[in-house]
Structure 1
């Protein structure tokens, strides 16, 4: 199993569609006893939260966010945790909105101090 996500900061490697998370978004993850949660903000997102579970290298969580235009949205995501050769962590994600139409895939990677 990949190492703990607790207190790791991750960021998308590419921008998504306008109004969604992007390279300016930072996720601060927490993990304890198979539970995961994170706070995120940046880009078009004022505040976001996710909560779910981890079984091995699989994360399964729901997310909700508030955007700068005052709208909220929520969805579901399943991610695979991957250890990168340089020691950082990557999440390969498959997500689907529940509050609106749309789905897709994305990648977030651990941010090092000089990247943040």
Structure 2
């Protein structure tokens, strides 16, 4: 199983469609006892929250967000957690809106490795 998400900040590797999460969006993750949650904002998202569970390297969560145009949206996402060679984590996501039509996939990666994953002097 990949390391804990707790305290990590993730960013998308590519922009999604306008009005959705993009490369300027940042997700601040928390994890404890199989539960995960995060706050996110940036780009077209003023404020967003996700909450769900982790079983092994699989996340299952619901999300809700407020966009800059004043609209809200919500959906469901299942993510696979993987550790990158440099110690950062990647989440390969399959998501679907529940508040409107639409679904897709995306990838987010932790912005930096944990300090304990870096060699001394780097």
TM-score (norm 2): 0.92
Q: How does 1:46-61 map to 2 (within 5 A)?
A: 46-61=46-61
What's the C-alpha RMSD, in Å, of the aligned pairs? 0.8
Tell me the matched-pair count.
113
1:112 match: secondary structure = coil
Q: Deviations over 1:32-65 (max 9, x none)?
A: 0000000000000000000000000000000000
Name 1:80's counterpart in structure 2.
80
5+ residue gaps, structure 2 = 114-122
TM-score (norm 1): 0.96
Q: How does 1:1-116 map to 2 (within 5 A)?
A: 1-112=1-112
**Shift of residue 112, structure 1, vs aligned partner:** 2.0
Q: Distance in 1 between matches of 2:2 and 2:33?
A: 14
5+ residue gaps, structure 1 = none
